[in-house]
Amino acid sequence: MRRKLVAGNWKMHGTLTDNDVLLTAVLAGMADVKAQVAVCVPFPYLAQVQAKLAGSAVAWGAQNMSQHAKGAYTGEVSAAMLNDFGCRYVIVGHSERRAIYGETDAVVAEKYAAAQAAGLIPILCVGETLSEREECITEQVVGRQIDAVLAKSGVASLAKAVIAYEPVWAIGTGVTASPDQAQAVHAFIRGKIRALDAGIADSLVIQYGGSMKAGNAAELLAQPDIDGGLIGGAALVADDFLAICKAG
Ligand code: PEP
């Protein structure tokens, strides 16, 4: 039985004061939450979040990391550094990293491998753009993104990973994939993994991300292959984030 995972992706938002208010409210509302919960925060706030969440039911992580272990990579942050701040998760391959910072499937696969080598759980983001959906190549795109990781790390690596299906056209747009649209891609992903290893496929947590809100979470999370959510905008409002967590 898979336990749902709801993870907030704060993106480049937050201040010390706002974070404290948000996390205080989230912690106060956790009593009724059955899902696993995490927040993925900007690097400068990892120490704050670690101090605030240590020993609580809310885990934390980062939104990106370097594929390199150490060295002359100005501005980069390694997996070992994330470990120093108690991170459990790190998002790799978010569509904003792929589109704005040119991260290729190969680079994402390297980051995924480096995260796991350091004991972090990568949340691997995959998803098609609107034009790719309109061309009816969603499965090819998502399949290619996953194949890059499988080629480098193997199917067994998915025992310690999460996949987030995030249609790019739904991220930050207010347009959510319908439960049927999302379920179809989730089933495709699980079927692809099942063809390689049924046990891994059955235990793999596959989150949906893309304008998931308090009002649509329950219907999405009721789908058989949707095991949680990766939440952007709604993760910045405690009541909204908690409502999604409780729907899971
Ligand atoms: C995201 O950034 O991963 C995301 C899903 O954003 P939003 O919920 O705002 O669409």
> Catalytic: 96?
no
Q: How many domains does the chain have?
A: 1
Output the pLDDT for position 88.
Answer: 98
Say if ligand 1 is within 6 A of residue 209 CB.
yes
Q: Is the CB of 216 under 6 A from ligand 1?
A: no
**DSSP assignment letter at 248:** -
pLDDT at 1 over 90: no
**How many angstroms separate the alpha carbon of residue 194 from the centre of ligand 1?**
27
The b/e string for 184-203 (b: 16+ C-beta within 10 A; e otherwise) is ebbbbbbebbeeebeebbee
Residue 177: the pLDDT is 94
Nearest residue (by CA) to ligand 1, atom 7, is 232
**Model confidence at 248: pLDDT above 90:** no
Q: What is the pLDDT of residue 59?
A: 98
Please state, in angstroms and rounded to a whole number, the distance separating the CA atoms of residues 213 and 174: 9
172 lines ligand 1 (CB under 6 A): yes
The CB of 9 under 6 Å from ligand 1? The reply is yes
Query: Predicted confidence band at 116 (pLDDT cuts at 50, 70, 90)?
Result: very high
Residue nearest to atom 8 of ligand 1 (CA): 232
Of all protein residues, whose CA lies closest to atom 2 belonging to ligand 1? 232
123: phi then psi, degrees, rounded to nearest 5: -100, 100
Q: How far is CA 31 from CA 25, 27, 58, 242, in A?
A: 12, 8, 11, 10
Rounded Cα distance, 28 and 9, in Å: 20
**What is the pLDDT, as a whole number, of residue 218?**
97
Domain membership of residue 94 as a residue range: 5-247
Q: What average pLDDT does the structure give for the chain?
A: 98
Name the percent of the chain lying above pLDDT 90: 99
Q: Is 58 helix (H, G, I), strand (E, B) or coil?
A: strand
CB 119 within 8 A of CB 80: no
Q: For 37-64, what is each residue's pLDDT tens digit?
A: 999 999 999 999 999 999 999 999 999 9
Using CA atoms, how far apart are residues 146 and 86, in angstroms rounded to an integer? 27
Residue 21 confidence (pLDDT): 98
Residue 13 buriedness (CB in 10 A; 0-12 / 13-18 / 19+): middle
> How far is the centre of ligand 1, averaged over its atoms, from the C-alpha of 213 (Å)?
10
Residue 211, ligand 1, Cβ within 6 A: yes
Residue 73 pLDDT: 98
Q: What is the CATH number of the domain that holds 82?
A: 3.20.20.70
Task: Give the rounded percent of residues in the chain with a pLDDT score beyond 70.
Answer: 100
Determine whether 13 is an active site residue. no
pTM more than 0.95: yes
